[in-house]
Structure 1
Amino acid sequence: MAATATATTLLTLSFFFFTLVNSHQSDPDPQSSPECANRWIHIRNLPPQFNLDLLSTCSLFPLFDDFCPHLPNHGLGHKTHNNTRSWFRTDPFMLELIFHRRMLEYPCLTPNPSAADAVYLPYYAGLDSLRYLYDPNYYNFSSHHGLNIYQFLNHHENSPDIWNRNNGHDHFFVASRPAWDLSQPLSNDPPVWGTSLLELPEFYNVTVLTFESRAYPWQEVAIPYPTSFHPPNTALLDSWVSRVRQSRRTTLMLFAGGGGVSASPNIRRSIRMECDNSTGDGGGDGLYTSLCDFVDCSNGICEHDPIKFMRPMLQSTFCLQPPGDTPTRRSTFDGILAGCIPVFFEEQSARKQYEWHLPEAQFGDFSVFIPKEDVVFKGLRILDVLLGIPRGEVRRMREKVVELIPRVMYRKHGSSLGLRSKKDAFDIAVEGTLERIKSRLQEVSVH
């Protein structure tokens, strides 16, 4: 049954992508489309081995979750319940598929690569990495990840002309994995965890959109993890924002996540210990019925069930966002959707990541930063820091968080014209990419 459903999904996607990409691209006409000046994008027609064929491997990696259930609705996944129009069981690793579907609705597409300001590669780099990460037959060949598509771009028919025109500086693609998973040094022998896609000199000029970028600037830029909220129209977005604003915040701080059970000192352990010890603790002048709430999301039980954590987030003033295996968390964006003020413990968790969506200069307006070293090794209580923030400032911070909601969500494909007038995470990512490519091309022309 699952195999049949997957095959049907793939056939539907294949037909849809083929018809839409060929019907929506038009030749640039500056006079009839002034709004597209400097915004034209060409979508490369890649063989399905680089995108849709990769979806057919959704159940082939036993060490990685079967992602077949997450393919419906062009990567948004199944609805959380039958009556909803905005909430889906979205898996963040489907961002490549979600982004591809949204690119086909981009208003300034052109079939002429020479007239384009940027070239989008619908290459599912993160899904392509799974065989190197989880298939024992490919472990020792992780340095090969990306070489096949480079060969295609540089040698197939007229591809060299498109690629060599700017040596890849005008190309971009999405990789729905942290950059660390794709930046293993080519010199590692034997290989360790990860592939070497971002270490290949062939891709140094390409802009890569990832969940999490490395600490030093290179070719990748971080964009938000997709959450489960994908409204199709303005009314549903406004309704959710209204609910967020009216929600009673009876809990001071919330941690939704796992970990923190080891004996070794770390920030998650400190958070859990402080939360456990906060029962009956006074503070807040009676404003809160609970100072700390903990939602145990161990073993991925919350990943595709937003009800488990969204309701507690709606009831909390602050959402703690400690680093885990890597600095960033999808929970950061879940919390923002709930109007829950994020509390960060590392600069790399967000301030140094999402430069387009969460401007660094405004971070103090909508978030709190507490160095994890002060908590873990110096005994600083998170509760004391948060209780010390004046109520008026808390209200201003929450309003700033609510204003961020449209910027960090990915609206549903095929959404209403009214909602399309509001820039969402996709729009801001494309806009930032175009500006980045323009800047890099100007630098190249000067040198």
Structure 2
Amino acid sequence: MYSTSLGANNVFNLLVKKQVHLTSTMKINHTDDDSCLNRYIYIHDGLPARFNYDFLNNCESLSPGTSSSNKPSMCPQLVNLGLGPDVSNPEGVVTNKSWYKTNPYLLEVIFHNRMKKYECLTSNSTLASAIYVPFYPSMDVGVHLWDSNVEIRDASAKDFVKWILGQPEWRKMWGRDHFFGSGRTAWDFRRQRDDSSDWGSKLRFLPESLNMTMLTIEGSEWKNDIAILYLTNFHPTKDSEVVAWQNKVRKQERPYLFTFAGAPRPNLEDSIWGKLIEHCQASNNCNFLHCTEKICGNPITVMTAFQSSVYCLEPVGDSFTRRSAFDSFLAGCIPVFFHPTTAYTRYLWYLPKDHNKYSVFIPAKDGKDLKEGRIENILLGISKEKVAAMREEVIRLIPKLVYADPRGRLKTPDAFDIAVQGMLDRIVNVRKVMNEGRDPSADFAGLENDKFKFPDSID
């Protein structure tokens, strides 16, 4: 077990010692046959440490969960370059040593460590196609997220955009080639009013921030908040580990028709979670995993449950998506979604447009839409051939749905690689609009109101 005695400085040193110096990976000479042409990225290494590294140095004060009260230090979760502690006692559930107890809020740390190993870094910002800002917004907002004083909540965000505005790189595209990652949902940074009862900071409504793209675990209605994948607990160092895992879940016996991992929500009337639990407990074909922080915070427990089932139920949680959705993919368990925003309208860089290839959609706004036996009857009505095809598609998707260990390297693009390429493509499109003399604002940071609409069905 890891304990808080690990200490902030030791955690920081563990992170730094594992990193390869940027100078060893930077491409300096740019030629016509350069494989990195149009792919160069410049890292804003001059960003003051109080916006990133100071959080690692003072990790005792950071909360690893959704509440700031009575939470243990985040320090133990920062080991292994932010991947977290190794999974102990795998009990045959996982196939290799690439499994960790990863905190999803640490996406920005892991993304930063991967970016340091990106093959097309440049020290010359004028030649860069994109500017990566190693800002840790989730850690930054988390320090004061529960503070009733909105000025205190917003102070660091305002300081951050003031700093970035003063950098010469900003004037190249007025920030539209700048991006940063976030381990929290976009809504944590989209407070529209200065009312202390309203949630979050207003980082993403600050004028300078509007011109930057945030890659976040859950996007928003605004086009400059782009959803990239939740972290899972599998971080392979080489392709063979991914293949071995795919082979394992492909051969897995699945005695249950469906599984639901969650906890009762007695205070929410007509909760879809309540109905799913009722349906699951009433069926011999369902496996219900009653989640507590200890139970569902254990990758072995979750993978054991999901590998035992053909389908995994993935309703809307506190937000539209849960990490559980990607755990189901990882386990070779066909996800069942109840709201299109959980996956279909968000993760466009990762998932096939034809959602019928890899999932089942059962429209349900709330528990009232789920009549007794409806889920089970729908799932039982799907042919064996269709089930086999969907499962194979889910397993095929696994390589692009994981974040590789920064200390290794995959030949197959993973979630990080896809996010970076998507960002580069986005900047190309913005640059084209600007070169044509058109205003890029609407296409860059405009609203996509249809993204969160609830249709009766999806074709």
Give the TM-score taking structure 2 as reference length.
0.87
* 1:436 to partner: Cα distance: 0.7
Q: Counterpart of 1:320 in structure 2: which amino acid?
A: L
Paired position in structure 2 for 1:13: 15
Paired position in structure 2 for 1:243: 248
Paired position in structure 2 for 1:148: 159
Moved segments of 4+, more than 3 Å: 14-17, 259-263
Contact 1:92/1:226 (CA < 8 Å) preserved in 2?
yes
What's the CA shift string for 1:133-157, capped at 9, x where partnerless? 1356x554323342112121222xx
Contact 1:28/1:115 (CA < 8 Å) preserved in 2?
no
Paired position in structure 2 for 1:325: 318
Gaps of 5+ in 1: 280-290
* 1:39 to partner: Cα distance: 0.5
Gaps of 5+ in 2: 91-95, 439-459
* 1:197 to partner: Cα distance: 1.0
What's the CA shift string for 1:292-343, capped at 9, x where partnerless? 1111113x22454101110111110000001111110101111101100000
1:97 counterpart SS class: helix
Paired position in structure 2 for 1:445: 435
Q: Aligned partners of 1:413 and 1:303: how far apart in 2?
A: 25
Contact 2:270/2:366 (CA < 8 Å) preserved in 1?
no
Sort the Cα spacing of 1:8 and 1:244 in 2 relative to 1 into closer, same or farther, 3 A.
same
What's the CA shift string for 1:94-115, capped at 9, x where partnerless? 1111111111111111000100
Paired position in structure 1 for 2:447: none
Choose 260-269 or 338-347, whichever is displaced more: 260-269
1:208 counterpart SS class: strand
Paired position in structure 2 for 1:293: 287
Does 1:2 find its partner at 2:4? yes
Q: Counterpart of 1:297 in structure 2: which amino acid?
A: C
Sort the Cα spacing of 1:339 and 1:294 in 2 relative to 1 into closer, same or farther, 3 A.
same
Does 1:435 find its partner at 2:436? no
What's the CA shift string for 1:397-442, capped at 9, x where partnerless? 00000001001001112224xxx21010000000101001111121
Contact 1:145/1:195 (CA < 8 Å) preserved in 2?
no
Q: Aligned partners of 1:175 and 1:234: how far apart in 2?
A: 26
Contact 2:274/2:367 (CA < 8 Å) preserved in 1?
no
Q: Aligned partners of 1:413 and 1:107: how far apart in 2?
A: 12
Sort the Cα spacing of 1:314 and 1:242 in 2 relative to 1 into closer, same or farther, 3 A.
same
Paired position in structure 1 for 2:54: 53
Q: Aligned partners of 2:140 and 2:242: how far apart in 1?
A: 34
Does 1:71 find its partner at 2:61? no
Aligned residues: 422
* 1:28 to partner: Cα distance: 4.4
Sort the Cα spacing of 1:375 and 1:264 in 2 relative to 1 into closer, same or farther, 3 A.
closer
- 110, 113, 120: which one pairs with 2:125? 113
Sort the Cα spacing of 1:164 and 1:99 in 2 relative to 1 into closer, same or farther, 3 A.
same
Q: Counterpart of 2:100 in structure 1: which amino acid?
A: F
Contact 2:338/2:363 (CA < 8 Å) preserved in 1?
yes
Q: Aligned partners of 1:275 and 1:362: how far apart in 2?
A: 28
2:188 counterpart SS class: helix
* 1:190 to partner: Cα distance: 3.0
Does 1:336 find its partner at 2:329? yes
Contact 1:145/1:197 (CA < 8 Å) preserved in 2?
no
Contact 1:96/1:176 (CA < 8 Å) preserved in 2?
yes
Contact 2:11/2:56 (CA < 8 Å) preserved in 1?
no
Paired position in structure 2 for 1:283: none
Q: Counterpart of 1:244 in structure 2: which amino acid?
A: V
2:23 counterpart SS class: helix
Identity rate, percent: 36
Does 1:177 find its partner at 2:184? yes
Give the TM-score taking structure 1 as reference length.
0.90
Backbone CA RMSD of aligned residues: 2.0
2:13 counterpart SS class: helix
